[in-house]
Structure 1
Amino acid sequence: MSDRSFLSWPFFEARHRELADDLRDWCADNLTGRYAEDLDSECRALVRELGAAGFLKLCVADGKHRPDVRSLAIARETLAYHSGLADFAFAMQGLGSGAISLFGTIEQKREWLPKVASGQAIAAFAMTEPQCGSDAANMQTSAMLDGNEWVLVGEKTYISNGGIADFYVTFARTGEGEGARGLSAFIVPAEAVAVAERIEVIAPHPLARLTYDKVRIPADAIVGEPGEGFRIGMETLNLFRVTVGAAALGLARRALDEALAFASKRRLGSATLADNAVTQAKLADMALAVDASALLIYRAAWQQDEGGIDNRRAAAMAKLHATESAQAVIDAAVQLHGGAGVTKGVKVEELYRDIRALRIYEGASEVQRQIIARDLLKGEAL
């Protein structure tokens, strides 16, 4: 990244700056010019390599400590700048195992977290259903206790790492109450789940529709207590929500760098595209959007790491602004490139496809606006 001045902000400690340097060097050595021919194999390889390099340790709880959100955000921004797929591989190790990090038993943590951190096991987070996207409280997949086993029946869809995961943290209805009060979370080994369909999207990632046909798992495979699943899922998503914005920031920062390089070299008459006042105004707007996103993201990450602060509004603002503004920044970069911007194989075209899903997953932009507004109105009521 050409502009790294943000690392001097007071949100960061020396260890964060060291991480940014180490990961930048690793990306330069391992991700430059790397393009996947076999998506599944490439994702598995990225997980193994990130684990071997020690970076996946950032994704899981360390003893009594939750994952450090500033470290996660720096990692995702840096990885996304170089490769959207590498960011995906990293992020899903965190989200997929997040419920175990936050709510798992000692035995569950010992069994799964070292494997996730080393890249030996690929994690997945299975909440979304065909008729239940943002409205997770109304999911229909069920789990019933039968002796010493839970029996799961239902279907999940758009599950990241679907088809390549080693386990799925799966959310199902256990009936302790209506809506959100009757859900629980379970660790389900991949061999127990059927991959009904692989789903292709505009930015290639391993996604799948899964079916649970009377899947039997041990009684101790539940994460937390029965009926706590909605809270577990929401706290897991909230932990990683800021990092989605960080990934968007990495994509936007790369788009700005690509636009600067292209405009400086592209001839326009006797001058360059960068000499044009309209171009300069566009570049200024792009830089403004990038810095505003960075401030929101690292403020929210700092708040989460400090603890004792309800930062749901700050996290929602960071995710919302970073993803929406990154879309605009990348679109502007494509426009500045002209015909080259929509040519397959050109970086800004890849970024254009990479950014779109970030405005949807882990809480769509519309959901983030609801979170912000409800928090504002709650304060007004007081």
Structure 2
Amino acid sequence: MADRTFLSWPFFEERHRELAHELDLWAGQNLGDIDHADVDTACRNLVAGLGAAGWAQHSGAMAGESLDVRSLCLIRETLARHDGLADFAFAMQGLGTGAISLFGSEAQQAEWLPQTRSGQAISAFALTEPQSGSDVANSTMTATLDGDDYLLNGEKTWISNGGIADVYTVFARSGEAPGAKGLSAFIVPAGLPGFEVVERQQVIAPHPLATLRFTNCRIPKSALLGQAGGGFKIAMSVLDVFRSTVAAAALGFARRALDEALERVSTRQVQGAPLFDLQMVQGHIADMALDVDAAALLVYRAAWAKDSGAARVTREAAMAKLFSTDQAQQVIDKAVQLHGGDGVRDGQKVEELYRDIRALRIYEGASDVQRVVIARQTLGAYQGGA
């Protein structure tokens, strides 16, 4: 059984403990037989199920509300511990509409958030381009004013929920200034003329991914999120919130790997004694437990800081994502090793976790990018203090 003692930490309120308990019960009853063979259907069903059960309500915030990052992290950690695709389905409902929650007008929120929070519509976040992943300021897709409309031209790639989403938050160069100051964010419904899915991408832990192409795709001015030229700020603000939740998902994977390892070393016999009796095995378990707790502290520090009113938690979120995803990879690798040949057998949970974790060290800012962010933030704080 996964450790629950962390819920008594002062980062949390009673409502967070109740949320974690209720979701864990629901996940145990509803996520045991997810068919990963057809990921499009599975994700559609998961979004609908999360919406019907009320969990997707936490993915967005209407006017007058605020995103509760601790709840987002607890939900992602719990879902990831049970099923990686369930975590993905919830996460994209939040990331896909994060810009609408944070920067959308009341009309934009009223049009889309009730649909995504109820599971009736699937959302996506279209930022990455073939030549610009983490280098958002280098985006080349364009949004050109044409009367009362914008014309979108260009490509987005590695877009989660690409091909199944009903609404996309799309970032494009609107030209107000060079570099980061010339980007804007737009709400783009699926199915518009000039908007096509040109490739579905397959990865080691399958989930819906696609390359999108826009060719004179016409959208009204009312699709603009926030101010023209404010797209970079919007993207960074959204990632500031949701980067901590990626760390939480990695933490959920790591907790599950530790549980699977504890079960293995407690029941597997070696020379007439439990595998756990070997001191080297005890060392592995100790390292895994240490990494899990250290990751949890970083994750929920970042979430608590944001919920407590910090304008930005760039450094804290980057630390949480870097440490949690990298160390979860190590925890899961140890779990695979402790399972021996069974650890790489198709259908084993630790083998699934081994595939699930790898992408988290890349998306929403690769590990090396997080190191750059942390270094710059640390230097900036030092120089500011000096």
The two structures have a TM-score, normalised by structure 1, of 0.99
Alpha carbons 2:77, 2:250 under 8 Å: kept: yes
**Alignment match, 2:52:** 52
Q: Is residue 290 of structure 1 aligned with residue 299 of structure 2?
A: no
Counterpart AA for 2:335 = A
User: Identity of counterpart residues, as a percentage?
Assistant: 61
Q: Deviations over 1:14-61 (max 9, x none)?
A: 100010011001101100133333210110000000000001111101
Q: Deviations over 1:326-346 (max 9, x none)?
A: 000000000111110011100
Q: Deviations over 1:321-364 (max 9, x none)?
A: 00000000000000111110011100000000000000011111
Any unmatched runs of 5+ in structure 1? Answer: none
Alpha carbons 2:258, 2:331 under 8 Å: kept: yes
Number of equivalences: 382
Q: What is the CA distance between 1:207 and its match in structure 2?
A: 0.1
Alpha carbons 2:99, 2:235 under 8 Å: kept: yes
**Alignment match, 2:211:** 209
1:159 match: secondary structure: strand
Counterpart AA for 1:200 = Q
**Alignment match, 1:269:** 271
1:197 match: secondary structure: strand
Q: Is residue 324 of structure 1 aligned with residue 333 of structure 2?
A: no
Q: Deviations over 1:260-313 (max 9, x none)?
A: 001111110110111111101100000000000001101110000001354211
In 1, Cα distance between equivalents of 2:219 and 2:98: 20
Q: Is residue 129 of structure 1 aligned with residue 129 of structure 2?
A: yes
In 1, Cα distance between equivalents of 2:311 and 2:229: 25
**Alignment match, 1:14:** 14
Alpha carbons 1:151, 1:215 under 8 Å: kept: yes
**Alignment match, 1:101:** 101
Mapping 1:60-99, distance limit 5 Å: 60-99=60-99
Alpha carbons 1:282, 1:332 under 8 Å: kept: yes
Alpha carbons 1:161, 1:207 under 8 Å: kept: yes
**Alignment match, 1:171:** 171
Alpha carbons 2:62, 2:109 under 8 Å: kept: no
In 2, Cα distance between equivalents of 1:49 and 1:122: 12
Alpha carbons 1:175, 1:183 under 8 Å: kept: yes
1:140 match: secondary structure: coil
Alpha carbons 1:265, 1:272 under 8 Å: kept: yes
In 2, Cα distance between equivalents of 1:308 and 1:336: 41
Q: What is the CA distance between 1:123 and its match in structure 2?
A: 0.4
Mapping 1:19-34, distance limit 5 Å: 19-34=19-34
**Alignment match, 2:181:** 181
2:339 match: secondary structure: helix
**Alignment match, 2:244:** 242
